[in-house]
């Protein structure tokens, strides 16, 4: 199993005829993704030959969905057209819209997030997308650095996602979701934690955060209340100075808020083990899995322990043994 | 990007929001001229992008042109929390009868817009939020319908502002939307004794991602390494340590800085990271060369750590990029040790390419933690 994206997902690519769109559509196909359509306004009726498959191009998302049954859109259009492209996908009612584009104005993200209003799940913007290894990939996450398995991963950062996927490639992943590093994103850590908790194909969760905002703190509160599967975390940006944007538009410490230290403490307070480096985080995941994981499909739900925010990870492990 | 107060007020003026008469000055003589033109008592305000100017002595009243010149001379060059006042705003002194607080902002937590208005202005909003949180009215704003006259009237009424403030609130919302701002804050928004609403201060943060649809000309070009990097399209932040760091992906680079800082011990106590530099996904030879050039131009740098994870771009391509970059740099690439860690796709092929190139400054370490430690030791001379 997996979350949000499976082997049955039918993917359309907005901006497929652009250089990035073509390059990554080819990679998605190689990763096993069922890419069924491209969308480029004004280029409907053409098709693009990817060797093993020729993908038809439509002039609109609605047309592409009607003709091909696509239920996922991946957006590769330049920033100035991204807002319009996502609004079009939302209006067409696509269930999942993955926005890869970096540099999308925050106001556009706020607007398409509001318009989506629970009917379309938006992932991103400024994200690498998501991959369910062995099944499908929607975005730019490299498919050949890891394998299918039972770890779920949610991250603000692309390369840290790749790093962890690679370090844990022998164990493998159910789904890895890059939610993006912008101040306003469509899907949060919490959305992914909830989905992984409910996914019988996921045994444990890696959560990667970074400075800026309070998403990790809210995720910690959510974990305390709703997540029984083991969670290990990593937070980047301890050395970031106040008031400087560190690469990602959302990665900024403002005054005393959004610091890596506060996020680490919030996560540790609810029993999440937080690695000091990506490699240590991978080791923590290995030991979390070898300590005995609640079996998927029964024990986790049946023996969900009653506990407050301060429940220690160790207590949880004992209770679920 | 944060605007200076005078830039924020120029924006306010364009949107019909009343601000005190005044202009910005870079020299005491200019301040004197402006005060003479205004022909009234003035206030000299340090233009710095930080709070607490008043307490630091950066806001000074002046009765006329002569004292305006003297006060401007005192304020110009003043260092307020590490921000040097290069300009002052010379403004007609305006006496508040009442002070309020008004802000519209992007609410990261909810992924929407938020209005924050209070009948109690003047003090820091964080302080007010701590001492009297109920005094701040917070209202989520629908991103599609926005703030109309009715919403503005409701906001004013709820927060105890006079009716005539509603018009200004509606216009402040328009600044947020039309200027692609992440924050528009007025503290204090005042009512004068003759019942006029005036924005006595202004703080505006614009969205760097929205440059393409505005004719903004706020960028200050200097010869700093940060600006030189920006001109080459590189994402660089100067820090105060000695290990130059270059990597691909913002998250991985932030993580690399942390790992370098954490590898400090007594012996290598000064081996903190010297910079953040993200060269992005592709890591072509030219981008790698540009990045190394910026880092090696920093005299504080004693060693360089190149941390690349081959994801989309495989490590053999990255290794070839590094080899070509070092050829482009020539002698400049020999001055300081360069520790390279390559991992991910085709890592072994990449490492072999680097080994065979036998560049005297380059040494390879296969793990991120080990490479950070090595670079830290080299920077400390240990």
Q: Which string of DSSP letters, residue by residue, matches B277-346? A: EE-TTT--HHHHHHHHHHHHT-TT--EEEEEEEESSS-HHHHHHHHHHHHHHHGGGGGSS-EEEEEEETT
Residue A315 has pLDDT above 50, yes or no: no
Q: What are phi and psi of B304, to 5 degrees?
A: -120, 135
Nearest CA distance, B307 vs chain A (angstrom)? 11
Q: What are phi and psi of B160, to 5 degrees?
A: 80, 25
- pLDDT tier for residue B146 given thresholds of 50, 70 and 90: very high
B210 interfaces chain A, CB cutoff of 8 Å: yes
* Rounded mean pLDDT, B254-282: 81
Residue B222 has pLDDT above 60, yes or no: yes
Lowest-pLDDT choice from B29-33, B118-122, B160-164, B312-316: B312-316
Kindly state the tokens that stand for B189.
């928004």
Supply the ipTM of this predicted assembly: 0.91
| Count of CB atoms situated within 10 Å of the CB of B282 | 14
Q: Which of B143, B174, B178 is nearest to A87 (CA)?
A: B143
* Rounded mean pLDDT, B236-244: 93
| Predicted local confidence at residue A297, as pLDDT | 37
Q: CA angle, corner A93, sides to A87 and A97, nearest 5?
A: 60
Q: Quote the percentage of chain A above a pLDDT of 90.
A: 83
* Rounded mean pLDDT, B172-196: 96
CA distance B345 to B327: 24
* Rounded mean pLDDT, B267-293: 81
Inter-chain touch B251–A210, beta carbons under 8 Å: yes
Out of B4, B6, B100, B101, the active site residue is B101
Residue A320 has pLDDT above 70, yes or no: no
Contact B92, B37 (CB under 8 A): no
Residue B129 has pLDDT above 90, yes or no: no
DSSP string for residues in B178-239: HTTEEEEEEEEEEEETTS-EEE---EEEE-GGGGGGS----PPP-SSHHHHHHHTT-EEEE-
Q: Record the pTM.
A: 0.90
Judge whether A248 counts as a catalytic residue: yes
**Which of B143, B254, B273 minimises the CB distance to A111?**
B143
Give burial (CB, 10 Å; 0-12/13-18/19+) of B326.
buried
Nearest CA distance, B162 vs chain A (angstrom)? 30
Question: Long-range CB contacts (< 8 A, 24+ apart) of B359-362?
Answer: B359/B323, B359/B326, B359/B333, B360/B334, B361/B326, B361/B333, B361/B334, B361/B335, B361/B336, B361/B337, B362/B322, B362/B326, B362/B338
Residue B68 has pLDDT above 90, yes or no: yes
Residue partners of B157: CB distance under 8 A and separation at least 6: B163
Lowest-pLDDT choice from A83-92, A303-312, B195-204: A303-312
Residue A187 has pLDDT above 90, yes or no: yes
What pairing do the DSSP bridges indicate for beta strands A96-99 and A121-123?
Answer: parallel
| Predicted local confidence at residue B265, as pLDDT | 59
CA distance B370 to B341: 9
Give the tens place of pLDDT for each residue, B336-361: 999 999 998 888 999 999 999 999 99
- pLDDT tier for residue A310 given thresholds of 50, 70 and 90: very low
- Mean of the per-residue pLDDT values for chain B? 91
| Predicted local confidence at residue B279, as pLDDT | 87
Q: Scanning the structure block, which residue is given the tokens 């692609």?
A: B180
| Predicted local confidence at residue A298, as pLDDT | 36
* Domains, in order of start, for chain B: 21-92 (3.30.1490.20), 96-218 (3.30.470.20), 225-380 (3.40.50.261)
Q: Which residues of B touch A117 (CB under 8 A)?
A: none
Give just the sign of the alpha carbon dihedral A99, A104, A110, A111: negative
| Predicted local confidence at residue A305, as pLDDT | 39
Q: CA angle, corner A137, sides to A134 and A140, nearest 5?
A: 130
CA distance B136 to B122: 13
Kindly state the tokens that stand for B268.
């290598």
B261 interfaces chain A, CB cutoff of 8 Å: yes
- pLDDT tier for residue B284 given thresholds of 50, 70 and 90: confident
* Rounded mean pLDDT, B317-328: 87
Give the tens place of pLDDT for each residue, A287-308: 999 886 443 333 333 333 333 3
Tell me the binding residues of B for ATP.
45, 52-54, 91, 94, 99
Chain B residue at shortest CA distance from A219: B109
CA distance B305 to B274: 10
Contact A116, A90 (CB under 8 A): yes
- Mean of the per-residue pLDDT values for chain A? 90
Nearest CA distance, B291 vs chain A (angstrom)? 14
Kindly state the tokens that stand for B381.
């001379």
Residue partners of A22: CB distance under 8 A and separation at least 6: A16, A48
Q: Which residues of A touch B272 (CB under 8 A)?
A: 239
Q: How many Cα atoms occupy the beta-carbon half-sphere of A220 within 13 Å?
A: 26
Kindly state the tokens that stand for A6.
């499976």
Judge whether B163 counts as a catalytic residue: no
| Predicted local confidence at residue B48, as pLDDT | 94
């Amino acid at each position: 199993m997996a979350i949000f994206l499976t082997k049955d997902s039918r993917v359309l690519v907005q901006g497929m005829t652009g250089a990035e769109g073509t390059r990554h559509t080819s990679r998605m196909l190689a990763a096993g993704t069922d890419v069924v359509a491209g969308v480029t306004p004004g280029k409907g009726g053409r098709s693009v030959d990817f060797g093993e498959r020729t993908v038809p191009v439509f002039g609109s998302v609605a047309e592409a969905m009607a003709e091909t049954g696509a239920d996922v859109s991946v957006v590769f259009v330049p920033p100035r057209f991204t807002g319009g492209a996502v609004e079009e996908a939302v209006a067409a009612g696509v269930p999942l819209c993955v926005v890869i584009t970096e540099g999308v104005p925050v106001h556009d993200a706020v607007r398409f997030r509001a318009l989506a209003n629970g009917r379309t799940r938006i992932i991103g913007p400024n994200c690498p997308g998501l991959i369910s290894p062995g099944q499908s990939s929607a975005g730019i996450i490299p498919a050949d650095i890891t394998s299918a398995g039972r770890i779920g991963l949610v991250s603000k950062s692309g390369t840290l996602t790749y790093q962890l996927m690679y370090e844990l490639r022998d164990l493998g992943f159910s789904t890895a979701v890059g939610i993006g590093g912008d101040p306003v994103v469509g899907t949060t850590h919490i959305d992914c934690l909830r989905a992984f908790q409910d996914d019988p194909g996921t045994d444990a969760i890696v959560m990667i955060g970074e400075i800026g905002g309070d998403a990790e703190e809210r995720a910690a509160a959510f974990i305390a209340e709703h997540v029984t599967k083991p969670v290990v975390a990593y937070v980047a940006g301890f050395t970031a100075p106040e008031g400087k944007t560190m690469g990602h538009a959302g990665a900024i410490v403002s005054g005393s808020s959004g610091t890596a230290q506060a996020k680490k403490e919030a996560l540790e307070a609810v029993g999440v083990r937080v690695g000091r480096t990506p490699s240590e985080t991978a080791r923590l995941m290995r030991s979390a899995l070898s300590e005995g994981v609640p079996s998927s499909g029964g024990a986790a739900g049946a023996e969900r322990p009653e506990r407050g925010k301060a429940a220690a990870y160790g207590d949880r492990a004992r209770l679920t043994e | 990007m944060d605007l200076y107060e005078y830039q924020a007020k120029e924006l306010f003026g364009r949107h019909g929001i009343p601000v005190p008469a005044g202009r910005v000055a870079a020299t005491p003589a200019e301040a004197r001229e402006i005060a003479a033109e205004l022909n009234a008592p003035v206030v000299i305000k340090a233009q710095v992008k930080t709070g607490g100017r008043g307490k630091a002595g950066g806001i000074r009243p002046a009765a006329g042109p002569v004292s305006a010149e003297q006060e401007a001379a005192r304020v110009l060059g003043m260092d307020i929390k590490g921000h040097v006042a290069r300009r002052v705003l010379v403004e007609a002194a305006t006496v508040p009868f009442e002070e309020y607080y008004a802000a519209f902002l992007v609410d990261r937590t909810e992924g929407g817009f938020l209005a924050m208005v209070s009948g109690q202005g003047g003090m820091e909003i964080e302080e007010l939020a701590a001492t009297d949180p109920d005094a701040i009215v917070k209202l989520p704003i629908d991103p599609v319908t926005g703030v109309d006259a009715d919403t503005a009237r409701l906001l004013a009424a709820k927060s105890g502002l006079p009716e005539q403030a509603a018009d200004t609130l509606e216009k402040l919302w328009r600044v947020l939307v039309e200027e692609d701002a992440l924050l528009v804050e007025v503290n204090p928004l005042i009512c004068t004794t003759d019942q006029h609403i005036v924005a006595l201060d202004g703080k505006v943060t614009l969205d760097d991602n929205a440059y393409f649809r505005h004719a903004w000309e706020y960028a200050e070009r200097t010869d700093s390494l940060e600006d030189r990097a920006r001109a080459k399209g590189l994402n660089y932040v100067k820090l105060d340590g000695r290990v130059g760091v270059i990597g691909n992906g913002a998250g991985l680079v932030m993580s690399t800085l942390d790992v370098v800082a954490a590898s400090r011990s007594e012996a290598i106590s000064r081996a903190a990271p010297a910079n953040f530099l993200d060269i992005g996904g592709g890591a072509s030879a030219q981008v790698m060369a540009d990045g190394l050039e910026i880092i090696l131009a920093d005299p504080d740098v004693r060693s360089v750590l190149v941390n690349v994870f081959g994801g989309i771009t495989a490590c053999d391509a990255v290794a070839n990029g590094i080899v070509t970059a070092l050829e482009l740099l020539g002698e400049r690439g020999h001055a300081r040790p360069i520790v390279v860690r390559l991992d991910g796709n085709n890592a072994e092929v990449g490492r072999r390419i680097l080994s065979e190139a036998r560049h005297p400054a380059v040494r390879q370490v296969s793990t991120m933690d080990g490479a950070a430690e090595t670079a830290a030791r080299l920077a400390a001379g240990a």
